[in-house]
Amino acid sequence: MIDIILSVNKVSIRLPDERWKHIVENHDDLAGYYDIVLKTIENPDYIIKSYKDALIALVEVSEKKYLAVVYKEFIDDGFIITAYFTKKIKLEDEEIVWKKKF
C-alpha cells in the first residue's frame, strides 16, 4: 500500500510501506505516528533545506522538539525518505524555504 499526500507546493508525495517499515525500524519512537508523519508534509510549521536537494518538513511537537520528515520533491511527484524526532534543529541556523503563517 502507498499513501499519497500533497505538499505545500501541491506536489504528490508518496509514503510506500517499505519506507514506513524502514522509518519505524530505525526510529521505533515513531511507531503509531503514521498519520502525523503524513500531516507534517501537508501542513508543516517550517520547511528547511536538507542535503542533496531534499527538504525537511518540521512540526513543533513540544518546546524546541520537532518531528522532522525528510522528503524529495520533483515537478509532479515525490517521496518520503525518513522521519525522526529531534531537539537539535536551530531554525536560526537553517535555510528556511517555507514558513507557516501563525
- Copy the grid coordinates of residue 36: 502525523
Q: Domain of 49?
A: 2-99
Q: Report the domain count for the chain.
A: 1
Alpha-carbon span 93 to 49, nearest angstrom: 11
Provide block-wise average pLDDT over 10 residues at a time, the chain (102 residues): 92 96 96 96 97 95 94 95 95 94 82
Query: Which pLDDT score is estimated for 2?
Result: 83
From the list 11, 7, 10, 23, the residue with the least C-alpha distance to 81 is 23
pLDDT of residue 33: 95
Per DSSP, what are the bridge partners of residue 48?
A: 56, 96
**d(C-alpha 88, C-alpha 77), whole Å:** 29
Rounded to two decimals, the pTM is 0.95
4 in Cβ contact with 13 (< 8 Å): yes
- The pLDDT of residue 64 is 85
With CA atoms as reference, report the closest residue to 11 among 57, 58, 62: 57
